[in-house]
Amino acid sequence: MTATAEGQRATTTNGGAKPIFGERRGFWPQFGTYIFILGPFVAVIAAVPFAWGWGLGWVDIGLAAFFYTLTILGVTVGFHRYFTHGAFKAKRGMRIALAIAGSMALQGPILHWVADHRRHHAFSDREGDPHSPWLFGTSPIALMRGFWHAHMGWIFDRKLTNAERFAPDMLADKDMVRVHKQFGMWTAVTLVAPAVLGGLLTWSWWGAVTAFFWAGLVRVGFAHHVTWSTNSVCHMIGERPFKSRDKAANFWPLAILSMGEAWHNLHHADPTSARHGVLRGQIDISARLIWVFEKFGWVYQVRWPTPERLARVTAD
């Protein structure tokens, strides 16, 4: 077993304990990882031509794209960069709007999301991390199990992260507690709103049904997999140009769909940075939106990356 460079670094910061990382993943587990990630997406896309013209049209596509963008940005800009990591400050109206948009992604109520994600950073890829793919070992079977656990298996754990420990600031904010408790309502809104819009735009009941299916259900499922891929894929595969004490990696194929969250190696190296895609050509749509909000004065004290910050976290 040869320890990787990351393993050696982790060992030194670990006080001489056994290396965190073992052998490289073999060909078949690697292949299986791709299949698991790409398979469901391909299946949904493959269904498109069969449904086109009778059960799917441009109105459904447009609504799905709109609600996908709204809710993913609610998670990336709101739940993640703002509420979890405090990458900027926001005016009250913007704060509530971001909490609602993120809730509409159906990734759990806001207090749970923030507490889970702060725990992920506190223990990343170690015991205590709610969704590390590395908790079961490095054999092919252990990695398949780890991938499943990191991607979605962990969600079924009934033990909730202690919000009093990990999110006391959120608990102290009455508006945030209210949005948290309204999660059921926002669940209904995110599914019913596309149906209503689809019905009105096509002036038909059938239009409401197809919009409910594509822009409601399929859109939520698709967005789930994109977000979960940050927890699974981006902790397994990709480049690691920055110093993070875990296996977080930059996985470029997901950069656009994840709205910048796939630049996950930089994020773990510098968690409060408002921009994750900091290198040349690394498109980060969430950072661009924060920039627009800043220009309007809706957010302020944004923690943009600086050359000094980047120099501190660049891997040697």
Q: Which residues bind Zn ion (CB under 5 A)?
A: 248
**Please, what is the minimum distance in Å from the beta carbon of residue 200 to Zn ion?**
38
Residue 292 buriedness (CB in 10 A; 0-12 / 13-18 / 19+): exposed
Question: Rounded to the nearest 10 degrees, what angle do helices 58-73 and 285-296 cross at?
Answer: 70
**Please, what is the minimum distance in Å from the beta carbon of residue 39 to Zn ion?**
23
Q: For residues 83 and 3, what is the distance between their CA atoms, to the nearest angstrom?
A: 36
User: CA dihedral defined by 4, 153, 191, 233, rounded to 10 degrees?
Assistant: 10
Task: Between 197 and 266, name the residue whose CB sits nearer to Zn ion.
Answer: 266
Q: For residues 315 and 156, what is the distance between their CA atoms, to the nearest angstrom?
A: 36
Task: Between 99 and 248, name the residue whose CB sits nearer to Zn ion.
Answer: 248
**Please, what is the minimum distance in Å from the beta carbon of residue 192 to Zn ion?**
31
Task: Between 166 and 214, name the residue whose CB sits nearer to Zn ion.
Answer: 166
Task: Between 207 and 260, name the residue whose CB sits nearer to Zn ion.
Answer: 260
Task: Determine the residue type at 7.
Answer: G
Q: CB of 82 within 8 A of CB of 98?
A: yes
**Please, what is the minimum distance in Å from the beta carbon of residue 234 to Zn ion?**
7
DSSP per position, 99-148 = HHHHHTT-S--HHHHHHHHHHHHHTTTSTT-TT-TTSS-SSHHHHHHHHH
Task: Between 248 and 274, name the residue whose CB sits nearer to Zn ion.
Answer: 248
Name the one residue in this structure whose structure tokens are 């052998």: 23
Q: CB of 37 within 8 A of CB of 233?
A: yes
**Please, what is the minimum distance in Å from the beta carbon of residue 129 to Zn ion?**
8
User: Taking CB positions, which residue lies at the least distance from Zn ion?
Assistant: 248
**Please, what is the minimum distance in Å from the beta carbon of residue 189 to Zn ion?**
26
Q: Is 291 strand, coil or helix? A: helix
Long-range contacts of the stretch 186-192 (C-beta < 8 A, 24+):
186/100, 186/103, 186/104, 187/106, 189/104, 190/67, 190/71, 190/104, 190/105, 190/106, 190/216, 190/220, 191/216, 191/217, 191/220, 192/216
**Please, what is the minimum distance in Å from the beta carbon of residue 267 to Zn ion?**
6
The phi, psi pair for 256, rounded to 5°, reads -75, -55
Q: CB of 107 within 8 A of CB of 191?
A: no
Question: Rounded to the nearest 10 degrees, what angle do helices 219-231 and 140-151 cross at?
Answer: 130
**Please, what is the minimum distance in Å from the beta carbon of residue 271 to Zn ion?**
5
Task: Between 66 and 309, name the residue whose CB sits nearer to Zn ion.
Answer: 309
Task: Between 146 and 216, name the residue whose CB sits nearer to Zn ion.
Answer: 146
Task: Between 25 and 118, name the residue whose CB sits nearer to Zn ion.
Answer: 118
